[in-house]
C-alpha cells in the first residue's frame, strides 16, 4: 500500500500567492496609516486640552494667564522662562517645577543643564506624536541640548505687537479678551525648527527677547534675520503647510497632520483649523481687535 504523496507548489502557484499577499498589503497599509494618523490627531488634541485646562487653573490661582515669556530685568526672578514652564504645577509636574525654582536661585541663565534640568527634559504633553524630535534631546547650536515643544503660544499679529494672549511679560486676564474667549486663539501647533534652535518649552529668547518664534508665534509673523534665519524671507508669513527640514517654516503655524493644525482657544476648547482659515487667522489671534469673525 502506497502512502499518498502531496505534490509541491508549482512556481506559478507561488507567484499567485505572493501576488495575492502583495495586493492585501497594498489594501491594508493605507487603512493602517489612516488609523495611525487619526490616533495622532486625537493625542494632539488631548495634549492641547490638558494645556488649556492648565492655563485656566493658572488663571484661577493667580487671576491671570501666564506671561508668554518673562523679561530679564533684575526684578524678574525667572528670566526668559516660557509660559509652558509656568504651567508645570498645573500639569502634575510639581517636582519639576520645584527643581526649576531651585535652579533659578543657583543660576539665572536658564539654558544650562545642570542646574536647569527642565531645559533638557521632554514632556509628552508638549509633544506631537507625529514628530519624533519632540520626545528626544539632541544637540543644536552652541552646544545646547534643549527639550522641544510642538505647541506655541499665540503672541498676536507678530513679535513686535502685544495684541494677543501670550507675549513678553503679559498679564492678560480672561476679561481682557474682548473678542470673546471662544473666538480668540491661545496656543497653536508649530513643529520646532529644523536645527532645533527654536521651539523650546522650558525657556528661550527668540527675536529681540520676545520669545517669537521660539515658544511664541504671531499669525503674520515676520523675520528680522537672526543668525540662523538670515536666509529666510522677511515675511509676513501665513498659515500653510510646512516641512520639518525647512528652517523658514518656523515662522508660521502648521502641523504634521494632513490639511491643517490644532489650535487651543482661550475658553479651553480645541479646534482643528484647515489651511483655508489663513485669511481669518490674524483676527482670531488678537484678543481685542473687534473683528467680526468666529472660529469655523
Domain ranges of the chain: 11-285
The pLDDT of residue 220: 98
- Distance between CA atoms of 50 and 271, rounded to whole angstroms? 14
DSSP letter (8 states) at residue 246: -
- Which pLDDT belongs to residue 22? 76
List the end-to-end C-alpha distance of the chain, in Å, as a whole number: 80
Q: What local confidence, expressed as pLDDT, does residue 6 receive?
A: 53
Q: How far apart are CA 172 and CA 89, in angstroms?
A: 19
Instruction: Look at the block and give the residue holding cell 520646532.
Output: 192
pLDDT given at position 29:
64
Mean pLDDT, consecutive 10-residue stretches, the chain (296 aa), reads 56 73 71 68 96 98 98 92 98 98 96 97 96 95 97 98 96 97 97 98 97 98 95 97 98 97 97 97 94 80
CB 270 within 8 A of CB 45: yes
What's the pLDDT at 1?
47
- pTM exceeding 0.85: yes
Amino acid at each position: 500500500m502506497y502512502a499518498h504523496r502531496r505534490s509541491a507548489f508549482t512556481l506559478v502557484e507561488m507567484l499567485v500567492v505572493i501576488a495575492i499577499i502583495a495586493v492585501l498589503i497594498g489594501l491594508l497599509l493605507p487603512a493602517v496609516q489612516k488609523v495611525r494618523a487619526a490616533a495622532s490627531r486625537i493625542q494632539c488634541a488631548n495634549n492641547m486640552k490638558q494645556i488649556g485646562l492648565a492655563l485656566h487653573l493658572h488663571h484661577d490661582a493667580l487671576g491671570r494667564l501666564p506671561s508668554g515669556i518673562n523679561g530679564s530685568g533684575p526684578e524678574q526672578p525667572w528670566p526668559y522662562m516660557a509660559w509652558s514652564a509656568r504651567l508645570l504645577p498645573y500639569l502634575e509636574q510639581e517636582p519639576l517645577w520645584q527643581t526649576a525654582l531651585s535652579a533659578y536661585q543657583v543660576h539665572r541663565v536658564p539654558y544650562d543643564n545642570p542646574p536647569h534640568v527642565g531645559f533638557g527634559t521632554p514632556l509628552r504633553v508638549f509633544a506631537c506624536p507625529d514628530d519624533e524630535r519632540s520626545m528626544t534631546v539632541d544637540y543644536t547650536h552652541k552646544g545646547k541640548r534643549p527639550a522641544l515643544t510642538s505647541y506655541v503660544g499665540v503672541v498676536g499679529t507678530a513679535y513686535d505687537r502685544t495684541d494677543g494672549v501670550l507675549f513678553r511679560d503679559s498679564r492678560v486676564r480672561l476679561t481682557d479678551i474682548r473678542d470673546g474667549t471662544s473666538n480668540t486663539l491661545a496656543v497653536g501647533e508649530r513643529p520646532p525648527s529644523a536645527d532645533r534652535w527654536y521651539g523650546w518649552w522650558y525657556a528661550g529668547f527668540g527675536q529681540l527677547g520676545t520669545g517669537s518664534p521660539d515658544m511664541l508665534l504671531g499669525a503674520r509673523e515676520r523675520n528680522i534675520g537672526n543668525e540662523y534665519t538670515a536666509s529666510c524671507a522677511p515675511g509676513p508669513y501665513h498659515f500653510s503647510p510646512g516641512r520639518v527640514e525647512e528652517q523658514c517654516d518656523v515662522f508660521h503655524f502648521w502641523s504634521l497632520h494632513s490639511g491643517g493644525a490644532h489650535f487651543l482657544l482661550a475658553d479651553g476648547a480645541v479646534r482643528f483649523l484647515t489651511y483655508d482659515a489663513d485669511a481669518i487667522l490674524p483676527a482670531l489671534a488678537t484678543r481685542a481687535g473687534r473683528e467680526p469673525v468666529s472660529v469655523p
